[in-house]
Structures are given as structure tokens and as C-alpha cells.
Amino acid sequence: MQNPSIADFRADLPGLEIVTINFWGNQGIVHVFDAAGNIIADFEPCQHGSMMLPVNWTGEPPEYFVLSPSVVEGGLFDAHGRCVVQFPNDGHPELCYAVLNITGDCRDEIVVWDPYEIWVYTQSDNPKRGRLYKPSRSPLYNYSNYQVTVSSPGGSE
């Protein structure tokens, strides 16, 4: 288990869920655990390891997670293993990504980059008005390639 992410990935279940991916041997196998540590889903969307950061894309639970910015194997996934948002085939960089709330409406943007370009993806209705789900996350100075990411339900704005 590497780079676990903990968030409300299944709003229909009590507590928070854990998503993790295998980096060694059988790379790309994703496991989803419930709040008690039981495996509730496993799937293999790709054959590589990647951080899987939680994404507050819609402004309400559940959160999704990003596998990678790849047009073919990446996108935003739900805890059932379905790709729910695909990246467009628009020539964007696919080397690295980060999930950040840049525009300030509580929902996350996805930043993708390589040594030559940086692109930012956001929702088409940004900024969104009204009460939005606002999870609390670790501060940026604690970010690392080896981090455990915790996205705690923090209310709404």
C-alpha cells in the first residue's frame, strides 16, 4: 500500500474511505477500504503506480481521486473504479499533477505540468455560488511524494 488517500469517497457509507495503489510487483492495482479497513473495491485501471489525490470536483460529497493526467489511462475516478471525468485530448502535459483550490470556490482545480508547460483545469461553472462542500486538507508545506493525504469533511461555505 503506497500513497494512501483518506476522504469521503463513498457518501453512502459511514466514515471515511481509504484509497491506495500498488507500486511494486503488480503495479496499478487500486484498493478501496471502508472506515473499518475492509476491502470494498479493487480494480486495475493501469499498469503504473501514481499518487491518487482526492478531488472535490463537484462541491458536494463524494470526492473523486486523480490517477494521472493521462488521456488514455488517467482521469478522475470514483470509489467504484469508474472514470467519471476524463482529461481532454488537448495536448496538455502529462508528467505531473497536483490538486489545489486555486479559484477559491471550495472546489479543486487540477494542475498538470512538465518541464515546459503548466496547465490548470477547472469546472466550466467556476466560480460556483451557494453552499459548497469544503473538506479540510493538510497544509501545502506538508506535501510530499510520499505523503498520506487526508481530506476531512470540514463543512460548507
What domain range includes position 55? 2-124
Q: What is the count of structural domains for the chain?
A: 1
Cβ neighbourhood burial of 71 (10 Å; 0-12, 13-18, 19+): middle
Cα torsion through 108, 49, 115, 107, rounded to 10 = 0
For residue 148, being part of any structural domain is answered with no
pLDDT for 156 equals 66
pTM beyond 0.85: the answer is yes
For residue 139, being part of any structural domain is answered with no
For residue 27, being part of any structural domain is answered with yes
d(C-alpha 135, C-alpha 150), whole Å: 9
Q: How far is CA 96 from CA 7, 10, 67, 117, 137, in A?
A: 22, 26, 11, 11, 20
For residue 65, being part of any structural domain is answered with yes
pLDDT for 1 equals 61
What would the pLDDT profile of 47-105 be if each residue is shown by its tens digit? 766 788 999 999 999 999 998 999 998 999 999 999 999 999 999 999 999 999 999 88
For residue 114, being part of any structural domain is answered with yes
For residue 154, being part of any structural domain is answered with no
Whether residue 3 has pLDDT greater than 90: no
For residue 151, being part of any structural domain is answered with no
Cβ neighbourhood burial of 103 (10 Å; 0-12, 13-18, 19+): middle
Backbone angles phi, psi at 140, to 5 degrees: -55, -35
For residue 141, being part of any structural domain is answered with no
